[in-house]
Amino acid sequence: MLRFLVQRLALAIPTLVIASMIIFTLQQLLPGDTATALSGEERDPEVIAFIRQKYHLDQPLPVRYALWAGGVLQGDLGESIRLQKPVIDLVIEKLPVTLELACLAMLVALVIGVPMGILSAVKRGTAADTIANGIALWGLSVPNFWLGILMILLFSVQLGWLPASGYVSPFESLSENLRSMAMPAFVLGNAIAAVMMRHTRAAMLGVLGSDYVRTAWAKGVSPLRLILRHALPNAAIPIITLGALEFGQLLSGAVLTEQVFSVPGFGKLMVDAVFNRDYATVQGVVICTATTYVLLNLAADLLAAFVNPKLRRA
Amino acid sequence: MTKAAIAPAGVALPAAEPVPRAEPGPIREFWTRLKARRSAMLGLVIVVALILMAVFADWIAPYDPIATDWGAIRTAPSWAHPFGTDEVGHDVLARIVFGARASLGAGLTSVALAVALGLPFGLIAGYAGGVVDMVIMRLTDALLAIPFLILAIALAAFLGPSLTNAMVAIGLSATSTFVRLTRAQVQAVAAEEFVEAARAVGNPPWRIAIHHIVPNIVPAILVQATLTIAAAIIAEASLSFLGLGQQPPEPSWGSMLNVAKNFLEQAPWMAIWPGASIFLAVLAFNLLGDGLRDALDPRQRT
């Protein structure tokens, strides 16, 4: 297990290093003088000179990268020129909001996707299967920002049940927090629910066809017990690992969902930074996203190997 | 058994008589199987209809999509404006029709870019192996470590907001998927006996790659490309929704939604149709992609 862990880490580290190089090089795409472009709206020569010095723009690219990467490793993601704050502070401030949203969305996805997947696998080829597949296709095809707008139209504008925007911290009022997160979490979880449903269906179909399930069936185990106690635990392994991989999708989707519902999270931070031409913040958010994603992949791999010893030799 | 085989030696068969084929060609067989899938055909019909709408937008649209009519601002759907008008008096229907150009154009162009870059790199990685393979795959892994839309937003942010840059950003972000797929397919095909045979008779590697490997990996690429077009259409709409894609007043379904979200109470129709159009286009490509996968899957061939 230790060897496997080391092997996986050895793969994850170069991936992150190269990803950071790509993210750093994005700066080079900026038209014109980098220092002027990085200063955004600011045209003060002093600011531009400060940036030139701060980002070592008079040095060659590899040297600049090394200096930047060294800072990143020590938690220095640069300075938000617009907000006059270290990017790392902004990230730490916004990350909990997005993590809450992502966890609630994952909960929505599991609660909808897994039972639907089990149902459609058990009732394969029936109307229930067709309907479940139809719902999954809807979930995969509907753009989540449009679904958000439709939900605001129905639940906020027409019925007035839920707030259309605004965020309340759970430490202030948990019930208000959940009310403000209900629609964003559902919208974000919707697409993942579809993916979870498909994975669950495929995994359950595989398990239901196996010999031990047939034996249990022949022994006279009740159908409900057969599904929940015998089949589901084995089908759960791919569902868990694939679920962890869907987290990248959650982070992407959060950008749009947060924009629609004005949730002050990670995604909103990125979009605002894009429009404020606050490039250090954009880079900081992207590198944090990539790191989170790689670590989650690693965790998913380890989890899979922990549950299924055969994978450890891979 | 063909007629040539049963004809007595030395007897020439009439040249006009065609040799009957033992089985239909692979393309015809594939088409028959695709036709049998109703959902795939529905997807195909919608895709063709949307492409026609985009191509003939000038003839179909009832109004100029960027002509403002200050006398008809945010008017509800009526006979004159079946989908209503927006905040500056644009006809929503006309903008939906023209918006198909941005959406389908972005979907097709960005995926074409992703395939054009991903296929050669995947071929090289899969066929050459060794250090070249390692370098290409490490780069691909690194790109895959950044979620698709986040990478596209970051690229669009640094390139500057425009539809063309959005297409480039989406295409580059989708490239790594095709590199990975091509490489995996090449490795599977390269182990086959016919490739071994082609190598044994002295074909150079590029010839083997183009004549023997590529034709065998086309189906997998085609399926992935169709499904990626669906993702790319959502990505373009997302970027335009965020203001990083098509710039106003040029129409795009995503940017129409961006404006519409500010007028939900006063003009809900502005939000309904653009979203429905994105949904329909994405659904159509997803249906078609799923159908293609099922029809091309050799495991189903009996």
pLDDT at A191: 84
Tokens of B181: 């797929």
pLDDT at A40: 64
Backbone angles phi, psi at A263, to 5 degrees: -85, 125
pLDDT at B4: 44
Using the Cβ of A69 and the Cβ atoms of chain B, whether some distance falls under 8 Å is answered with: no
The distance in angstroms from the start CA to the end CA of chain B is 20
Cα A237 to Cα A239: distance, rounded to the nearest angstrom: 5
Residue B58: other Cβ atoms inside 10 A:
10
Q: Nearest CA to B26 among B286, B298, B220, B224?
A: B298
Cα B23 to Cα A109: distance, rounded to the nearest angstrom: 47
Contact A259/B242, CB-based, under 8 Å? Answer: yes
Tokens of B5: 């085989």
pLDDT exceeds cutoff 90 at B267 = no
Q: If residue A86 lies in a helix (H) or strand (E), which one and from where to where?
A: strand A85-86
- From the list A153, A255, A282, which residue is nearest B149 (CB)? A255
Residue A240: other Cβ atoms inside 10 A:
13
Instruction: Identify the DSSP state of A312.
Output: G
Contact A252/B147, CB-based, under 8 Å? Answer: yes
Instruction: Identify the DSSP state of B225.
Output: H
Cα B247 to Cα B240: distance, rounded to the nearest angstrom: 8
> Lowest mean pLDDT: which of A126-135, A259-268, B44-53, B260-269?
B260-269
Contact A293/B265, CB-based, under 8 Å? Answer: no
Give the residue from B134, B146, B233, B290 with the most A CB atoms within 10 Å of its CB, the best one to mutate.
B146
Instruction: Identify the DSSP state of A229.
Output: I
Helix (H), strand (E), coil (C) string for A106-121 = HHHHHHHHHHHHHHHH
For residues A104 and A189, the answer to whether their CB atoms sit within 8 Å is yes
Cα A299 to Cα A8: distance, rounded to the nearest angstrom: 10
Contact B154/A26, CB-based, under 8 Å? Answer: yes
pLDDT in tens for each of the 314 residues of chain A?
A: 678 788 888 888 888 899 999 888 887 777 767 777 777 666 678 777 877 777 777 788 888 888 888 888 888 888 887 777 888 888 888 888 988 898 899 999 999 998 999 889 888 888 888 888 888 888 888 998 899 999 998 898 888 888 877 788 888 888 888 888 889 999 999 988 998 898 888 888 888 888 888 888 888 888 888 888 888 877 877 777 777 778 777 888 888 899 888 889 888 888 888 888 788 888 888 998 888 888 888 887 777 777 666 666 54
| Exposed / middle / buried, residue B65 (Cβ in 10 Å: 0-12, 13-18, 19+) | buried
B-chain residues near A38 (CB < 8 A): none
> Of all residues in chain B, what percent are helix, strand and coil, respectively (each to 5)?
70, 0, 30
Nearest-Cα distance to chain B for A218, in Å, is 30
DSSP output for B160-185:
-SSHHHHHHHHHHHHHHHHHHHHHHH
- What are the distances in angstroms from CA B48 to CA B52, B96, B259? 6, 16, 28
Tokens of A39: 């200063």
| Exposed / middle / buried, residue A162 (Cβ in 10 Å: 0-12, 13-18, 19+) | middle
pLDDT at B115: 96
Cα A86 to Cα A263: distance, rounded to the nearest angstrom: 21
Cis peptide before A62 (omega within 30 of 0): no
**What is chain B's mean pLDDT, rounded?**
83
Cα B177 to Cα B114: distance, rounded to the nearest angstrom: 8
From chain A residues 262-291, the ones with a CB under 8 A of any chain B CB are 270-271, 274-275, 279, 282-283, 285-286, 289-290
Q: Which ipTM score applies to this complex?
A: 0.84
Express each pLDDT in B130-186 by its tens digit. 899 989 988 998 888 888 888 888 888 888 888 898 899 899 989 999 999 999 888
Cα A256 to Cα B236: distance, rounded to the nearest angstrom: 12
Tokens of A216: 């249990």
- From the list B150, B234, B272, which residue is nearest A143 (CB)? B234
More confident residue, B69 or A102: A102
B-chain residues near A248 (CB < 8 A): 147-148
Range with the largest mean pLDDT of A173-187, A227-241, B71-85, B222-236: B222-236
Number of H helices, E strands in chain B: 13, 0
Mean pLDDT over residues B39-68, rounded? 87
- Whole-prediction pTM value? 0.85
- From the list B147, B260, B279, which residue is nearest A143 (CB)? B279
DSSP output for A24-40:
HHGGGGSSS-HHHHHTT
* Bridging pattern class, strands A85-86 and A79-80: antiparallel
B-chain residues near A270 (CB < 8 A): 150, 153
Alpha helices for chain A (secondary structure H): 2-25, 34-38, 45-54, 61-73, 87-122, 127-141, 144-151, 174-208, 211-219, 223-225, 232-245, 247-261, 266-275, 279-307
From chain B residues 234-263, the ones with a CB under 8 A of any chain A CB are 234, 237-238, 241-244, 257, 260-261
Q: Which amino acid is at B51?
A: I
DSSP output for A127-139:
HHHHHHHHHHHHH
For residues B173 and B232, the answer to whether their CB atoms sit within 8 Å is no
pLDDT at B13: 47
Three-class DSSP category at B24: coil
Cα B54 to Cα B57: distance, rounded to the nearest angstrom: 5
Contact A249/B286, CB-based, under 8 Å? Answer: no
pLDDT at B6: 46
How many residues would you count in chain B?
302
Tokens of A234: 């084995």
Cα B302 to Cα A149: distance, rounded to the nearest angstrom: 47
Confidence of residue B10 (pLDDT cuts 50, 70, 90): very low
The distance in angstroms from the start CA to the end CA of chain A is 11
Cα B39 to Cα B83: distance, rounded to the nearest angstrom: 28
Contact A146/B257, CB-based, under 8 Å? Answer: yes
Give the residue from A38, A138, A149, A245 with the most B CB atoms within 10 Å of its CB, the best one to mutate.
A149
Residue A233: other Cβ atoms inside 10 A:
11
Cα B175 to Cα B70: distance, rounded to the nearest angstrom: 44
Cα B214 to Cα B198: distance, rounded to the nearest angstrom: 14
From chain B residues 119-148, the ones with a CB under 8 A of any chain A CB are 138-139, 141-143, 145-148
For residues A141 and B235, the answer to whether their CB atoms sit within 8 Å is no
pLDDT at A223: 83
Q: Nearest CA to A255 among A243, A242, A273, A240?
A: A273
pLDDT at B16: 52
Tokens of B225: 């490309």
In DSSP terms, A86 is beta-bridged to A79
